[in-house]
Structure 1
């Protein structure tokens, strides 16, 4: 798979853009602030419906414009497809596939597969669990687009359930009698959707684990072993540890990881945990158990990466996560021989030392399509020489 054409209208700094690509290496070169990242961000957004830079879509629409449009032509097995996404400020996004409108924008999910690595990915190692959960969910949607609706349904259910919990807490504090039958209904909905998401995440972590170990070894020259575990809040809740602390595997032992991959088993555990925590949830007005409270734990040897990994180790581990994602997508049987995603490196090489830079360059050089952004051409390793596009003042000009 590769992107052959990209057109932007009122996306970020671009009023209008038309740009063609070829398979292989393409470097987007230009000083900081000229629009390089905006270009690759548009492809990443079309792939995952999420920006690696901001959480709100409104920032993606050019100032003063009512909407932004991303259009790209994707080539797979010598057949091309046109993908279009319209981002409308304050309204639902609209999507087209080969010029035919789709019922929902998320129906475009999975048509373009990208793996994007950027400096912001250090937060996967150093920051709070939210980014790690998003990493897993975005990769899940690329592997199984139907999970986009499961994820959206769960988020909607949790918002509604939290509203009911807050209302119940207000009633309890005022001495009003509580009717919790409606909350029971939302418990069922949250457990059903949450169990699907947890089971899919655990299966994903199990599949990623060997790829992460191999990728980290390649980037870091085997300085230590990268390990990953899924930490389920339902396990901590059943052990009486509903806060951020507690044992990683309480309720589910390492030897019984298979239980977390079975949605029906997880659903029953979630319902049990919700009943166990109902008093605390009403008191706090929030849902205390479910995939929105889970974490992806990352280790180097026996030490947690967060708080212990050096800056260089954190970079290597973040790179390892993205390279592991790339290898997993590439090996996806459902896409057969053309499953290779587009690999995007946004301003990465300038942040790496010479050893890690060379190792990364040699790892990605054989990829079907690699898009690289760099402030200066010298930041792009020689082994990755290929097509070059100069970007200046949100104007992209192909120079070779």
Structure 2
């Protein structure tokens, strides 16, 4: 699994740029604000969704440019080359939708990208994951699940759509039983499916973390899922869980109407992480320990993704080396090499990647230019 080239037009601070990648390790280095993270963001658009910043597409368009942007990437997946084009056409409203073509054929949805490659990332914005709101951890969990279960994204979006419709009917006082019952049946089926997929993923991650613990320089994390459904039995038949959820939703209509929201469901799930050796919630660990726990989780997820999908993922690691001591930094690079992934990394100084030696392609980023000697 490799990205071999990337071409951008009117994306962030890049008017037009074409890059070729010749290594499993690609390191972008340069001053803050030079555009290093913009390159990782472009690569993250080779997966479903709005990329690693979760920005609107209008925010990705270069100021003073055409009003749209495009990216073209050449990849090799299972020894088969493919060409991916992702584009936002100029739209005065700034709300343009993304189109994706794979080998010149329009994709019906961006989820088709998961047939070719899996893209995982770690960014400084994720450093507050353990201490931040549950919604951040839920999005982190769902993106991890999506990499091993491509249907999860569609289930989640359909669930959110049904829930919004139910909330709107309740808020407007339109208590038509047939409409509400239909939406609640859909929410029950999708919500239970989401809860089961998350639970199975957490179980597989726990197994993967345990297997890799002896060879990892990063602390071991223990994971526990709060499903969003209080005291709901998920170990039996799914149809029984769906029936119970449907009954709960029906009984909660008036309370949910007063609250202006659905108070229980898959949208309330949370991922609870513990520093296993210290038996300490990750939220109470030091900043350095939290960063190390997060790196360990991303590495375990990369192993699991490769094992389940057969596709060693592309890893995007933004400013990860700066937070590690030299020994742990070198160990991280060796682990990435052993995983067989392609890793794109950023840092302010080329010396952060010294432990890679000649394994890395070093690209300096400066003023919208990228290359070994960009100026």
Structure 2 CA distance for aligned equivalents of residues 370 and 297 of structure 1: 27
Deviation at 1:221, TM superposition (A): 5.5
Deviation at 1:116, TM superposition (A): 1.3
**Residue 365 of structure 2 corresponds to which residue in structure 1?**
391
Given candidates 124, 147, 157, the residue that maps to 1:152 is 157
**Residue 205 of structure 1 corresponds to which residue in structure 2?**
202
Contact 1:113-1:342 at 8 Å conserved across structures: yes
**Residue 255 of structure 2 corresponds to which residue in structure 1?**
280
Q: Which sits farther off after the overlay, 59-68 or 6-15?
A: 59-68
Contact 2:48-2:110 at 8 Å conserved across structures: no
Deviation at 1:124, TM superposition (A): 2.3
Structure 2 residue ranges without an equivalent (≥5): none
CA distance change for structure 1 residues 263 and 251 in 2, over 3 Å: closer, same or farther? Answer: closer
CA distance change for structure 1 residues 230 and 55 in 2, over 3 Å: closer, same or farther? Answer: farther
CA distance change for structure 1 residues 354 and 269 in 2, over 3 Å: closer, same or farther? Answer: farther
**Residue 240 of structure 1 corresponds to which residue in structure 2?**
none
**Residue 182 of structure 1 corresponds to which residue in structure 2?**
179
Structure 1 CA distance for aligned equivalents of residues 214 and 318 of structure 2: 22
Q: How does 1:325-364 map to 2 (within 5 A)?
A: 325-332=301-308, 334-335=309-310, 339-364=311-336
1:274-327 Cα offsets, whole Å, 9 max, x none, are 134223201111111221111111112333212x11111100111122111100
Structure 2 CA distance for aligned equivalents of residues 128 and 362 of structure 1: 33
Deviation at 1:18, TM superposition (A): 0.6
Structure 1 CA distance for aligned equivalents of residues 55 and 263 of structure 2: 23
Q: Secondary structure at the match of 2:17?
A: strand
Deviation at 1:359, TM superposition (A): 2.8
Q: Secondary structure at the match of 2:63?
A: coil
Q: Cα RMSD between the aligned structures?
A: 2.3
Structure 1 CA distance for aligned equivalents of residues 355 and 33 of structure 2: 24
**Residue 380 of structure 1 corresponds to which residue in structure 2?**
353
**In the alignment, structure 1 residue 100 sits paired with structure 2 residue 105:** yes
CA distance change for structure 1 residues 79 and 398 in 2, over 3 Å: closer, same or farther? Answer: farther
Structure 2 CA distance for aligned equivalents of residues 203 and 344 of structure 1: 25
**Residue 241 of structure 1 corresponds to which residue in structure 2?**
none
Deviation at 1:102, TM superposition (A): 1.9
**Residue 344 of structure 2 corresponds to which residue in structure 1?**
371
Structure 1 residue ranges without an equivalent (≥5): 172-177, 237-249
1:320-378 Cα offsets, whole Å, 9 max, x none, are 2211110001112x43xxx2111221111112233432332222233342211111101
**Residue 294 of structure 1 corresponds to which residue in structure 2?**
269
**Residue 61 of structure 2 corresponds to which residue in structure 1?**
61
Deviation at 1:46, TM superposition (A): 1.8
Given candidates 123, 126, 133, the residue that maps to 2:138 is 133
Q: Secondary structure at the match of 2:235?
A: helix
1:145-168 Cα offsets, whole Å, 9 max, x none, are 333322221121122122112112
**Residue 242 of structure 2 corresponds to which residue in structure 1?**
267
Deviation at 1:141, TM superposition (A): 2.5
Structure 1 CA distance for aligned equivalents of residues 157 and 133 of structure 2: 21
**In the alignment, structure 1 residue 86 sits paired with structure 2 residue 87:** yes
Contact 1:123-1:131 at 8 Å conserved across structures: no
Q: How many residues are treated as equivalent by the alignment?
A: 365
Deviation at 1:384, TM superposition (A): 5.2
**In the alignment, structure 1 residue 311 sits paired with structure 2 residue 287:** yes
TM-score, L = length of structure 2: 0.89
**Residue 47 of structure 2 corresponds to which residue in structure 1?**
47
**Residue 16 of structure 1 corresponds to which residue in structure 2?**
16
CA distance change for structure 1 residues 30 and 292 in 2, over 3 Å: closer, same or farther? Answer: same
CA distance change for structure 1 residues 251 and 187 in 2, over 3 Å: closer, same or farther? Answer: closer
**Residue 71 of structure 2 corresponds to which residue in structure 1?**
70
Structure 1 CA distance for aligned equivalents of residues 371 and 218 of structure 2: 37
Structure 2 CA distance for aligned equivalents of residues 263 and 389 of structure 1: 51
TM-score, L = length of structure 1: 0.84
Deviation at 1:60, TM superposition (A): 1.5
Deviation at 1:67, TM superposition (A): 1.6
CA distance change for structure 1 residues 121 and 2 in 2, over 3 Å: closer, same or farther? Answer: same
